[in-house]
């Protein structure tokens, strides 16, 4: 390595023998090196704290126990500050303390090429170690920031999950939500909103990606779909009753225009439904989301079929589908965290296991039916962790109670 790499560096050298001091000074002359030559280790220790050298060249002094302790403290200080150290040992059989065992050595009389090479190499190694330490410290700070961001995102997501369903005699609701166990906050969101005295809005969605960006898109969607904050699901009109419940396909078409992938760098799937409390009719539209399933009160399974493209990808119409629930029938919405949940062998839980579990639970309460799905997932996966958010929303039609 070229001696020019030493330019503007600081070297501290401490020897008992004046010959070593003179020869090293002569070898380094003209190389642009700042050199400090204390006469003993005590003075070298003081200079070490004051000058912060890049390289230390030292002759071990082991004349007493105190001298050995001083040398050990001196070398430990160098190690802590990331200062390169080279030993000069005249006697190859000298018993050195453990702190000296791994240090490089230079022989005396000094050979110019050997000394400059070792000084240059150790200086570069020390610099790389400092840069590595700085990089690790930066990484630790970034990890702390990321942990804080994920914690904030998780708080946001939890705050948007409904705590209780609206009290409506015609429908009952139950749900299960399990966040990912990998610290990756997902974008699952669902809600039940009362649109007026006869209609309910129900939606479930899944934003791509994880962490704070996904949480922010989720917040925006939650606000857009809240009938109190926008006209997305319920718009004003100039004739009685002076509002109109927006059909599901139009709701998705609006979201498709307002949330293009290139604007938010996120896409999402969503299923939005309008429930008629008087008739049990469900009108829904689906944008790339796992299809809801109807479980009749006799256990018959009816997977719904209409599904459009993911929101934000292309300008395309979203189809609508209708299904009428009889008293005791149930409608389940879910995210792909359930069907794509894997066991240790990589097998997916899948729709068939989900449908079979829900059909088997028709005689149980809606809440127990939802809990049974989570229990089946746990039994299926064994020790496998939840890799994505898991959301299941159950709706049961209990019959119209009005006049």
Give yes or no for residue 356 having a pLDDT over 60.
yes
- Is 48 within 8 Å of 80 (Cβ atoms)? no
Give yes or no for residue 1 having a pLDDT over 50.
no
The verdict on 264 and 226 lying in the same domain is: yes
Q: In what order do the strands lie in the sheet with 199-207?
A: 187-194, 199-207, 268-276, 281-287, 320-324
Residue 269 lies in a domain: yes
Domain boundary among 132, 152, 182: 132
Cα–Cα distances in angstroms (integers) from residue 201 to residues 157, 168, 227, 242, 334, in the given order: 20, 13, 9, 18, 16
**How many domains, in total, are found in the chain?**
2
Q: Which range of residues forms the domain containing residue 43?
A: 3-132
Residue 145 lies in a domain: no
Using CA atoms of 305, 306, 310, 312 in order, give the dihedral in degrees to the nearest 10. Answer: -170
- Find which of 36-40, 200-204, 261-265, 313-317 is predicted with most confidence, using mean pLDDT: 200-204
The verdict on 176 and 97 lying in the same domain is: no
The verdict on 78 and 182 lying in the same domain is: no
Segment 261-269 shows an average pLDDT of 82
Segment 42-71 shows an average pLDDT of 87
The verdict on 270 and 391 lying in the same domain is: yes
Give yes or no for residue 159 having a pLDDT over 80.
no
Please tell me the predicted confidence (pLDDT) of residue 113: 84
Residue 402 lies in a domain: no
- Lowest mean pLDDT, pick from 40-44, 139-143, 337-341: 139-143
Domain boundary among 116, 132, 148: 132
pTM of the entire predicted model: 0.66
Main-chain phi, psi angles of 331, to 5 degrees:
-125, 130
CATH number at residue 46: 3.40.50.2300
Segment 46-68 shows an average pLDDT of 87
Cα–Cα distances in angstroms (integers) from residue 371 to residues 243, 337, 355, 358, 391, in the given order: 38, 15, 14, 10, 11
Give yes or no for residue 115 having a pLDDT over 80.
yes
Give yes or no for residue 183 having a pLDDT over 60.
no
Q: Is the dihedral of CA 19, 23, 26, 31 positive or negative?
A: negative
The verdict on 343 and 218 lying in the same domain is: yes
Rg (CA), the chain: 36
Rounded distance between C-alpha atoms, residue 109 and residue 90, angstroms: 9
Give yes or no for residue 109 having a pLDDT over 80.
yes
Domain boundary among 110, 132, 154: 132
Residue of higher predicted confidence among 243 and 180:
243
In 53-104, DSSP assigns E strands to 55-58, 84-88
Which element (helix H / strand E) includes 104? none
Give yes or no for residue 2 having a pLDDT over 60.
no
Tokens, residue 363: 């005689």
Predicted confidence (pLDDT) per residue in 76-87, tens digit: 988 888 888 999
In whole numbers, what is the pLDDT of the chain averaged over residues? 86
Q: Percentage of residues in the chain with pLDDT exceeding 70? A: 91
Helices (H), 161-230: 211-224
Please tell me the predicted confidence (pLDDT) of residue 28: 86
CATH number at residue 328: 3.60.40.10
The verdict on 128 and 167 lying in the same domain is: no
């Amino acid at each position: 390595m070229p001696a020019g790499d030493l330019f503007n560096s600081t070297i501290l050298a401490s020897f008992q023998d004046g010959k070593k001091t003179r020869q090293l000074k002569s070898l380094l002359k003209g190389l642009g090196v700042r050199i400090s030559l204390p006469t003993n280790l005590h003075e070298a220790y003081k200079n070490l704290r004051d000058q912060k050298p890049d390289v230390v060249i030292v002759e071990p002094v082991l004349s007493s126990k105190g001298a050995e302790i001083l040398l050990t403290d001196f070398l430990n200080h160098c190690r802590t500050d990331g200062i390169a150290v080279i030993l000069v040992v005249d006697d190859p059989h000298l018993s050195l303390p453990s702190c000296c065992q791994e240090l490089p050595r230079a022989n005396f009389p000094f050979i110019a090429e050997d000394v400059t090479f070792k000084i240059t190499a150790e200086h570069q190694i020390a610099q790389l170690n400092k840069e590595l330490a700085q990089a690790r410290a930066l990484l630790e700070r970034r990890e702390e920031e990321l942990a804080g961001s994920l914690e904030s995102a998780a708080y946001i997501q939890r705050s948007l999950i409904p705590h209780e369903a609206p009290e409506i005699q015609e429908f009952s609701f139950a749900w299960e939500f399990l966040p990912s166990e990998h610290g990756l906050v997902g974008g699952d969101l669902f809600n039940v909103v009362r649109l007026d005295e006869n209609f309910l809005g129900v939606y479930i969605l899944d934003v791509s990606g994880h962490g704070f960006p996904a949480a922010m898109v989720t917040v925006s969607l939650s606000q857009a779909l809240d009938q109190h904050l926008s006209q997305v699901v319920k718009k004003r009109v100039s004739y009685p009753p002076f509002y109109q419940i927006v059909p599901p396909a139009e709701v998705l078409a609006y979201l498709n225009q307002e949330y293009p992938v290139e604007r938010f760098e996120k896409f999402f799937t969503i299923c939005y439904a309008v429930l008629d409390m008087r008739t049990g009719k469900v009108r829904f539209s689906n944008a790339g989301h796992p299809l809801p399933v109807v479980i009749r009160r006799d256990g018959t399974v009816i997977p719904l079929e209409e599904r459009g493209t993911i929101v934000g990808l292309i300008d395309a119409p979203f189809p609508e589908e209708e299904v009428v629930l009889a008293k005791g029938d149930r409608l389940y919405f879910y995210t792909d965290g359930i069907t794509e949940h894997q066991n240790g062998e990589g097998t997916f839980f899948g729709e068939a296991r989900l449908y079979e579990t829900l059909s088997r639970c028709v005689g149980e309460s809606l809440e127990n039916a939802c809990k049974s799905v989570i229990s089946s997932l746990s039994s299926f996966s064994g020790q496998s962790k939840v890799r994505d958010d898991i959301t299941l929303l159950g709706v049961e039609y209990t019959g119209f109670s009005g006049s």
